[in-house]
A = this chain, B = another copy of it.
Amino acid sequence: MASTRLDPIDRKILAELQADGRMTNVELAKRVGISAPPCLRRVRTLEEAGYIRGYHADVDPRELGFEVQVFANVGLQSQAEADLSAFEARCRAWPLVRECHMLNGEVDFILKCVAPDLSTFQRFLTEELTAAANVASVKTALVIRGAKDQPGVPFDVLEERLARDA
């Protein structure tokens, strides 16, 4: 609920947990300037209110043998809502597809995919994605190297904005 505004301490908590999700509650409390019990209560509230959707270890794909990362731009034949939903459901079922976003503009969806090697991805591309119902066009782009990969949102921008509005 966006009606429940966050105070500066809540925003600090979110920023700290976004930066280090395994931080101890007492360490977190120390950083945001309150004692441990109310800090934990705030975290629980933020979780239940949906501000925090979960916590995840950031695992290195290459170390685990996922050498290939690909962005796939997908165009569909029909943009009827039922067909869009059907394609999204397929994407959720494909483990190699990690993200699926519906776009405006000339392409309908952009997919972020990972694979152990190129041939695995090629097989997925030809036998699954391109072959799927309603898929009109697929243009893929291989990731050569990653320059930045930050999760979540920039809290400094948020703070600037709040300071200006106030």
Binding site for B on A (CB under 8 A): 2, 6, 14, 17-22, 49-61, 63-66, 69, 71, 88, 91-92, 95-105, 107, 109-110, 114, 116, 139-154, 156-158, 161
Contacts and interface: CB of A to CB of B under 8 A. Distances in A.
Nearest to A92: B148
Contact of A153 (B19, B61, B149): B61
Contacts of A139: 105
A19 B139 CA distance: 30
What is the copy number of this chain in the assembly?
2
A56 to B, nearest CB: 5
Nearest to A140: B105
A148 B157 CA distance: 25
Contact of A152 (B56, B88, B110, B144): B56
A102 to B, nearest CB: 4
A17 B157 CA distance: 29
Contacts of A91: 147-148
A58 B99 contact: no
Contact of A146 (B56, B102, B105): B102
Given A59-B18, A148-B91, A154 B102 contact: no
